[in-house]
Structure 1
Amino acid sequence: MSQEYVGTKQVTAFPFQHQDGREGYKVQYENGYTSWSPKDVFEKAYIGIGQVKQLPPHVQRMIGEKAQNDDRLAKLTAFIKTPGFRELSAKSQELLTTQAGAMGELSEILAERIAL
């Protein structure tokens, strides 16, 4: 029986045009494996965190965690402003609003930790 999987990994990538002219990224994984990914596929799967290789691994992970959290918070905040949000039950609206607040606090905490 099949099931769904969600993964998280950090890769090094740079814009790279495929030999057939398609835009994409050349991707290098931690184990040294290199591949090419179409631009739309890559950008759905990865969030840029800048040039962080010189930082300790735990700081790289915090920067990645903050970037993911901020991306999700932006999407949630945008959803809260839609008619779809107003169609939800009052309890669901309350929980999503509370979740957005907690995600904002997490972002602030991570920013402070990264600054240290």
Structure 2
Amino acid sequence: MNHPTREATPMTKHFIGTKIVLALAMTRLAYNDYRGWALPADENGADDGYLVEYTDGGAPNHPNHAGYISWSPKAQFDAGYVSVGEVGHLPPHQQRVIAEREQLADRIQKLEAFLHTDLYASLPDDEQQLLKMQADAMVLYLGIINTRTSKFA
């Protein structure tokens, strides 16, 4: 068998998602039943997860949904999404600000936790100082977003 050389293989790219999605807690079996599909023999129907609906892109693939739906295992969903609460009553631009606020708060929490780790303590002093400055700037930014969102109806 002929294998392509490393030089001929295209570089794998990395991506980060920033979509606001609707999610409903649902086991893998419940999702398959909802779609009218048989559960494959090699899958665990009791797996916790979510029916995920993408409302800002993709053609609908189920008659009961305006957007594209799929199923995501709970661990992968929880690792990739931060709850923004009930924002469906707000216009899209305000929904995005709320989402930005929640993502920023999550990042601040993770950075502040990192500032108390052995890895942080092992970094050079200048890098430690920059990380502290970054945390301070993020907290200031969060304050501005909080002021903006307090004015939403």
TM-score (norm 1): 0.96
Give per-residue Cα distances to partners, 1:39-65, cap 9 Å, x unaligned: 001111110011101001111101100
Measured after TM superposition, the shift of residue 7 of structure 1 is: 2.2
Aligned residues: 116
Give per-residue Cα distances to partners, 1:22-52, cap 9 Å, x unaligned: 1000111114111111000111111001110
Residue 28 of structure 2 aligns to a residue whose secondary structure is: coil
Of 74, 77, 83, the residue aligned with 1:48 is 83
Of 6, 26, 39, the residue aligned with 2:16 is 6
Aligned to 1:27: 52
How far apart, in 2, do the equivalents of 1:66 and 1:108 lie? 9
Of 86, 97, 105, the residue aligned with 2:132 is 97
Choose between structure 1 and 2: higher helix proportion.
Answer: 1
Consecutive unaligned residues of structure 1, counting only runs of 5 or more, are none
Measured after TM superposition, the shift of residue 21 of structure 1 is: 1.1
Residue 109 of structure 1 aligns to a residue whose secondary structure is: helix
Residue 71 of structure 2 aligns to a residue whose secondary structure is: strand
Q: CA RMSD in A?
A: 0.9
Residue 92 of structure 1 aligns to a residue whose secondary structure is: helix
Q: Percent identity?
A: 40
Consecutive unaligned residues of structure 2, counting only runs of 5 or more, are 1-9, 30-44, 58-66
Measured after TM superposition, the shift of residue 82 of structure 1 is: 1.1
TM-score (norm 2): 0.73
Please list every run of at least 4 consecutive aligned residues from structure 1 whose deviation after the TM superposition is greater than 3 angstroms.
none
